[in-house]
Amino acid sequence: MKKMIEEAFAKHFGGEGILYVAPGRFNLIGEHTDYNGGFVFPGAIDKYIMADIRPNGTDGVVRLYSIDMDASCEFGLNEEDAPKEQWARYVFGVCREIIKRGGVVKGFDAVFAGNVPLGAGLSSSAALESCFANALNDLFNDNRFPRMELAKIGQSTEHNYCGVNCGIMDQFASVHGKKDYIMRLDCRSGEFEYFPIRLDGYKLVLVDSRVKHELVDSPYNKRRESCERVARKLGVETLRDATMDMLNAAKDEISQEDYMRAEYVIGEKERVLDVCDALNRGDLETVGDRMYKTHQGLSKLYEVSCEELDFLNDIAKECGVTGSRIMGGGFGGCTVNLVRDDIYDNFIDTVTSRFKERYGHEPKIYPIVVSDGARRYQE
Ligand code: GLA
């Protein structure tokens, strides 16, 4: 990818820039908990966005070329210059959010490309935001923004320029990722810990359904609104502080739908803690059990699954896979699977052929390689 980007940079702008990369992420457990003040357990993966960037000496003209879109875009750094192309809005948003925080962004030229599959729930947009946030921090701000602030710059970009009211998990993971470690982040305090990923006798693998259900009315934001409504009703800041007893005591004042959403979130909070304990003991069977329970909750209570993902989950169970669940926001994309080495090949063959038989196309298989976060590229 490096060579292709450098050639495109030379062709579009002449000469060369500085290369930066930032990865997508996976998440072991703790789904839809980030915006509820809970815990998440993500890691960066070996799929990333790479950008070649060079200040262009102008006061505020940004010129971009996206290799994957085969499209160019030019914008100024003032609010009224927001580009209409979605892919360019991510970069524009990052620039604006840096400026809003008192940082410096001057004109620059950039070419970028990526291999994070789009719409697969692997956070290609967070990778793009983190790549540019880190690069612009390095190029124009002497790296004065701490890493967590870079993640927040990406998150605010989603909120203010892309209409997604996301939590902090994706940008956090893309910025903080570390090879061979997953991270447990407390989304309320912002504290986090690195856990070495020890999977003796097991593998983690993503199975990508390659379906993306574009649902009207922004269902992600609606889920978040439900949680916030219940938290207000229970008099807590976020559902992190709610218990099933509190929820049941207020049952009559909460819609059936909101009740289900909150029931999932409260259950997920427990499951994440169980998984931490189990990981400390090296008990991967319990980790897997909780992953299946999370899938059930995401499918039946939070209602962010779809037929294809439920099917993938069923096949995993039939094959004796230790743990399997929807990963990320939902409504399509991948399942994350914890698979014993001895059944791995059989699982991959079975899930590939059964899915194809049913839906006419093969799922994509991505073995998880836990990788480093946003950085200046080095060979
Ligand atoms: C998306 C959001 C994250 C998180 C997950 C669900 O990936 O961007 O903030 O809420 O969904 O866990």
CB 39 within 8 A of CB 348: no
CB 186 within 8 A of CB 39: yes
Q: What is the number of the ligand 1 atom nearest to the C-alpha of 31? A: 12
Work out the mean pLDDT of the chain and round it to a whole number.
Answer: 96
Question: Quick one: pLDDT band at residue 222, thresholds 50, 70, 90?
Answer: very high
Specify the pLDDT at position 16. Answer: 96
CA distance 109 to 314: 48
What's the mean pLDDT in 180-198?
Answer: 94
Cβ of 328 closer than 6 Å to ligand 1, yes or no, is yes
pLDDT in tens, 300-326: 999 999 999 999 999 999 999 999 999
Cβ of 268 closer than 6 Å to ligand 1, yes or no, is no
Cβ of 269 closer than 6 Å to ligand 1, yes or no, is no
Closest C-alpha among 267, 232, 233 to residue 251: 233
CA distance 263 to 250: 12
Instruction: State the DSSP code for 65.
Output: E
Crossing angle between the packed helical segments 147-161 and 169-176, to the nearest 10 degrees: 140
pLDDT in tens, 227-256: 999 999 999 999 999 999 999 999 999 999
CA distance 23 to 43: 10
170 is known as an active-site residue: yes
CA distance 196 to 178: 9
pLDDT in tens, 266-278: 999 999 999 999 9
What's the mean pLDDT in 90-98?
Answer: 98
Cβ of 31 closer than 6 Å to ligand 1, yes or no, is yes
Q: What is the number of the ligand 1 atom nearest to the C-alpha of 167? A: 9
Specify the pLDDT at position 180. Answer: 95
Set 34, 52, 109, 170: catalytic member? 170
CA distance 206 to 367: 6
**Mutate which of 25, 26, 29, 32 for ligand 1 pocket (most atoms within 8 A of beta carbon):** 32
Specify the pLDDT at position 143. Answer: 98
CA distance 312 to 315: 5
10 CA → ligand 1 middle, Å: 36
**What is the residue with the minimal CA distance to atom 9 of ligand 1?**
167
Q: Residue type at 253? A: E
Strand-strand pairing, 42-55 and 108-114 = antiparallel
Cβ of 363 closer than 6 Å to ligand 1, yes or no, is no
What's the mean pLDDT in 158-180?
Answer: 96
Cβ of 35 closer than 6 Å to ligand 1, yes or no, is yes
Specify the pLDDT at position 212. Answer: 87
The contacts of residue 242 (CB under 8 Å, 6+ apart) are 230, 231, 234, 236, 262, 265, 266
Specify the pLDDT at position 215. Answer: 64
Task: Provide the b/e sequence for 42-54 (b: ≥16 CB within 10 Å).
Answer: bbbbbbbbbbbbb
pLDDT in tens, 336-363: 999 999 999 999 999 999 999 999 999 9
Question: Quick one: pLDDT band at residue 216, thresholds 50, 70, 90?
Answer: low
27 CA → ligand 1 middle, Å: 10
* DSSP 3-state of 212: strand
Is the pLDDT reported for residue 213 higher than 90?
no
